[in-house]
Structure 1
Amino acid sequence: MTAKAWEGAADVDLPLDEPYNEKISRPDHTTQQNPSPLKNPQDSATSLGTEDEYVYPEGGLRAWLVVFGSWCAMFASLGIANTLASFQAYIAQNQLSTYTPDQIGWIFSIYTFLSFACGIYIGPLFDVYGPRWLTIPGGVCVVLGMLLLGVCTEYWHFIIVFSVIGGVGTALLFTPSVAAVGHFFYVRRGTATGIATAGGAMGGVVFPLLLESLIPKVGFAWATRIMGFAILFLSLLGILLVKSNLPPSRTARSPHPDLKILRQPAFLFAVIGCFLMEWALFVPLTYIASYALHSGFNMSFSYQILPILSAGSVFGRWLPGAYSDIIGRFNLILLTIVLTIVSVFAIWLPFGTTIPGIVVFAVLFGFSSGSNISLTPVCVGQLCRVEEYGRYYATCYTIVAFGCLTGVPIAGAIVEANGGAYWGLIVFTGACYVGSFVAFYVARGFSGGWKIRMKY
């Protein structure tokens, strides 16, 4: 199939039961605003060899080793991001007990901000140099951050060690690992990316339980060091296995966000949807343990609720990703956002102070919000050429990073303004997801069409 025949092919109204071709050239979403529809991509002849064409492997040993390496790198990087509630609850009761929730929240918001904002450089650099020279310093920073975290006693210590060193290291491991998977899969990209990002959720199960078990036995310092040694092993696997499947880009742009591509309505609303989603996502991930303690649950249960949430997220990153390859990536992310809204407003808000209520919320929110990490990269990738993915991803998540920067402190300030009550935090979280649903629906409409029963 020629590249010209594929222009706008993803904007087609395909029946839900019509499969994609297993060998598929990269679609061009940027050259035409209203391309003529192609009813069935399989009807066109395959013609290879032009410089604008790219055929995805869609599998094979090398491709799946990249997915496994990405899984390990996600375990080491996003596993920390999914352990924020354990760190927040512990240091709020110990090292930083004299600080307010919003002040402590800045430690974790700066961490998440840098984890995504560093994509401003990492995305385009990945396009030019590939992943190896990014993941090596990333692994070093993440491991160093964990080894030093145990000796932090002052507020600024946590900012430097956890927020800055840990945040930059997470970005250097996380961003190339997501982008590399996109080089090997298109038809099955949702499945592959979901499997890879499930590593971060698995880290959110293992690391909080590891800390809960080790802190009473060996203390906080050695518990974080042991966690750092585990991250070292996982980072090495990621560094060795994550590879690019494209030659260096000769037309790579400056490593800065390209705000001009926001003129594309579909991409603009997708960015807005991602922003609102991430604005809300890290609020429960940071405050769920403190919320449980405030609600009267014992300390052991309060620290275990985060691994329960992360366990739901393991399946939420893999299963929706696989199913999105069947019904469409934008369709699936809309469905999971609806499920997230239900978990917040129908379960957490009225029943979160009961054991069944908070457990059901944790599982349901973990499952539905798990797609926030696994589906947003593939949705962004569906709006651009494969060789431009780093630039689009960097632009999107540089903007989204400001949501990560402000969401957690805003939620902490809401808790403080409500006298320690968490109902305002819950409403803030749910409202952000409602706005995200609207934005993603508009993005889907501009890019794929407004019909409900269509694969996109």
Structure 2
Amino acid sequence: MSGTETTNSKISCDLEVQATDSPPLHLPQSVDPSGGVGHTEDDDIESANSEAYPEGGLKAWTVVAGSWFGTFASLGILNSIGTFQAYIQEHQLQSYSPGTVGWVFSLYAFLSFFCGVYFGPIFDKYGPRGLTISGTAMMAGGLLAMSFCTELWQFLLAFGVACGFGTSLLFCPSIAAVGHFFKARRSLATSISSTAGGLGGVIFPLMLSSLFDSIGYAWATRAVALICLCCGSIAVFTIESRLAPAKNARAHPDFRIFRQIDLILITAGIFLFEFSLFIPLGFISSYALHHGFGLDFSYNLVPILNAASIAGRILPGYYADLVGPLNMNVFAVILSVVACFGVWLPAGHTAAGIIAFAVLFGFATGTLIALAPVCVGQVCETQDYGRYYATSFSVVSFACLISIPIGGSIVNANGGDYAGLIILTGVIYAVSGFVLMGAKAYVFGLRNWAAVY
């Protein structure tokens, strides 16, 4: 018997044993835009054998490096919105309520993810170059325009709209391109590139809090714009795709992929934890100021949180390749619940308590942000990764849109007290954990709760 026949016989036997002894598995099925299912379980086996991933090498790690710089210029700004919001709330827009000012940054976060519903399919069809060029120009231009802003509508257009589009244009290909070069080590590679967002969330707030006093808000913001321009330019020349577009690829979103129940549940889980995630990111500095901490201490909580998130991206990213990205995200959700109810709520008014919360929550946040795209990638073929990731996160983007304004309204309704906001954050985190476990139960059944996924 030939080697091929032996392998095929072994696969057949394994599938028969699985069908007899285990509950049925709901394997990923890509949806064909024409209306049918793009491939079957047999196609999955054939695809797994035919797709050869470099899993390393000069070109693959160059793409990861380019992704790192693109993520620094996009997610680095996203992780720094707390510093911008606290400063603008105290100066240019001091006559507006926190809920109203929050719309500037929630609009930015919303567009950062929602626009991917179009940019992801464009990446799958045409590659990353046009996206990264446009994203770099819009990020630098939006920040430059923001340095001149004094009115609410100006901040909405410059930061909310222009930087929101720019972040999405840069971030989407930065994440999707890594998946073209890594499969077995995708969680680790994606986590490495996403550390840039955490590092940017350390460098930019520290830089801004120092420059605000020395050279003023306008030139401090322009300095950030210059850094984003340089990092984005590196991403333009180093990020590339490897796999040819799928036969059914098109440069338009396709929400019919939500026929997959596992994708619906994963997207719902990400939606819930992203809603909760942006509340501490947006309010931790304002919370500290409310409790009487100094300006420098309050602003520095954001870089402390983001520094912890760097470790949260690397270490769980390594273990996610062993135990599964969704399992690691469930662990991060549990840690977030503990941080909210065990530290922030009872002890956040003390210096030790708020620092401990920033470290715990930052670590968990890094894991969730880094591995969420990898969770989505488990339910599709690599050629469809950009489309699936972008479409899923277009739904998640609505959580980013409403979380900060709702949080600000809750604080106002409670007379400036943050207890209700903290409780809401922890409860929604807990619900997201149950939804993610529901996705795993759908795929593997209730008895295989320890399966790698």
TM-score, structure 1 as length reference: 0.89
Give deviations 1:34-83, integer Å, cap 9, x for gaps: 969x9xx9xxxxx8xx7993111111111111111111111110001011
**Counterparts of 1:263 and 1:137, CA distance in 2:** 32
Per the TM alignment, residue 425 of structure 1 is displaced from its structure 2 partner at its CA by 1.2
1:124 partner letter: P
- Please tell me whether the aligned partners of residues 29 and 260 of structure 2 are also in contact (alpha carbons under 8 angstroms): no
**Counterparts of 2:203 and 2:195, CA distance in 1:** 12
Correspondence for 1:225 among 222, 227, 250: 222
Relative to structure 1, is the Cα distance of residues 114 and 214 closer, same or farther in structure 2, using a 3 angstrom cutoff? Answer: same
Relative to structure 1, is the Cα distance of residues 190 and 3 closer, same or farther in structure 2, using a 3 angstrom cutoff? Answer: farther
1:189 partner letter: R
Query: Is 240-249 or 397-406 further displaced after alignment?
Result: 240-249
**Counterparts of 1:34 and 1:136, CA distance in 2:** 37
Correspondence for 1:431 among 427, 434, 439: 427
2:275 partner letter: W
Mapping of residues 113-132 of structure 1, within 5 Å: 113-132=110-129
Do structure 1's residue 59 and structure 2's residue 27 form an aligned pair?
no
**Counterparts of 1:315 and 1:324, CA distance in 2:** 14
Give deviations 1:74-96, integer Å, cap 9, x for gaps: 11100010111101100000000
**Counterparts of 2:243 and 2:139, CA distance in 1:** 27
Correspondence for 1:144 among 141, 144, 150: 141
- Please tell me whether the aligned partners of residues 143 and 225 of structure 2 are also in contact (alpha carbons under 8 angstroms): yes
Correspondence for 1:81 among 75, 78, 81: 78
2:260 partner letter: Q
Correspondence for 2:231 among 234, 250, 260: 234
1:354 partner letter: T
Q: Give the aligned partner of residue 71 of structure 1.
A: 68
- Please tell me whether the aligned partners of residues 272 and 429 of structure 2 are also in contact (alpha carbons under 8 angstroms): yes
Correspondence for 1:331 among 322, 327, 330: 327
Mapping of residues 29-428 of structure 1, within 5 Å: 29-30=29-30, 53-253=50-250, 255-258=252-255, 260-428=256-424
2:248 partner letter: T
- Please tell me whether the aligned partners of residues 103 and 409 of structure 1 are also in contact (alpha carbons under 8 angstroms): yes
Relative to structure 1, is the Cα distance of residues 257 and 398 closer, same or farther in structure 2, using a 3 angstrom cutoff? Answer: farther
- Please tell me whether the aligned partners of residues 246 and 384 of structure 2 are also in contact (alpha carbons under 8 angstroms): no
Relative to structure 1, is the Cα distance of residues 34 and 433 closer, same or farther in structure 2, using a 3 angstrom cutoff? Answer: farther
Per the TM alignment, residue 249 of structure 1 is displaced from its structure 2 partner at its CA by 3.7
**Counterparts of 2:306 and 2:102, CA distance in 1:** 20
Per the TM alignment, residue 201 of structure 1 is displaced from its structure 2 partner at its CA by 0.7
Per the TM alignment, residue 248 of structure 1 is displaced from its structure 2 partner at its CA by 3.4
Relative to structure 1, is the Cα distance of residues 122 and 333 closer, same or farther in structure 2, using a 3 angstrom cutoff? Answer: same
**Counterparts of 1:232 and 1:191, CA distance in 2:** 27
Per the TM alignment, residue 253 of structure 1 is displaced from its structure 2 partner at its CA by 3.3
- Please tell me whether the aligned partners of residues 283 and 407 of structure 1 are also in contact (alpha carbons under 8 angstroms): yes
Relative to structure 1, is the Cα distance of residues 134 and 238 closer, same or farther in structure 2, using a 3 angstrom cutoff? Answer: same
**Counterparts of 2:212 and 2:288, CA distance in 1:** 19
Give deviations 1:376-424, integer Å, cap 9, x for gaps: 1000000111111122112211111111111110001000000011111
Relative to structure 1, is the Cα distance of residues 212 and 70 closer, same or farther in structure 2, using a 3 angstrom cutoff? Answer: same
Per the TM alignment, residue 431 of structure 1 is displaced from its structure 2 partner at its CA by 1.4
- Please tell me whether the aligned partners of residues 194 and 370 of structure 2 are also in contact (alpha carbons under 8 angstroms): yes
**Counterparts of 2:112 and 2:291, CA distance in 1:** 31
Relative to structure 1, is the Cα distance of residues 347 and 51 closer, same or farther in structure 2, using a 3 angstrom cutoff? Answer: closer
**Counterparts of 2:245 and 2:130, CA distance in 1:** 13
- Please tell me whether the aligned partners of residues 265 and 435 of structure 2 are also in contact (alpha carbons under 8 angstroms): yes
Per the TM alignment, residue 447 of structure 1 is displaced from its structure 2 partner at its CA by 2.1
Do structure 1's residue 455 and structure 2's residue 452 form an aligned pair?
yes
**Counterparts of 2:313 and 2:8, CA distance in 1:** 31
**Counterparts of 1:265 and 1:298, CA distance in 2:** 48
Per the TM alignment, residue 250 of structure 1 is displaced from its structure 2 partner at its CA by 3.8
For residue 286 of structure 2, give the secondary structure of its aligned residue in structure 1.
helix
Per the TM alignment, residue 367 of structure 1 is displaced from its structure 2 partner at its CA by 0.3
Query: Is 423-432 or 356-365 further displaced after alignment?
Result: 423-432
For residue 249 of structure 2, give the secondary structure of its aligned residue in structure 1.
coil
For residue 359 of structure 1, give the secondary structure of its aligned residue in structure 2.
helix
For residue 209 of structure 1, give the secondary structure of its aligned residue in structure 2.
helix
Gap runs ≥5 in structure 1: 14-26, 42-46
RMSD after superposition: 2.5
| Percent identical residues | 46
- Please tell me whether the aligned partners of residues 244 and 383 of structure 2 are also in contact (alpha carbons under 8 angstroms): no
1:199 partner letter: A
- Please tell me whether the aligned partners of residues 135 and 172 of structure 1 are also in contact (alpha carbons under 8 angstroms): yes
- Please tell me whether the aligned partners of residues 125 and 251 of structure 2 are also in contact (alpha carbons under 8 angstroms): no
2:403 partner letter: G
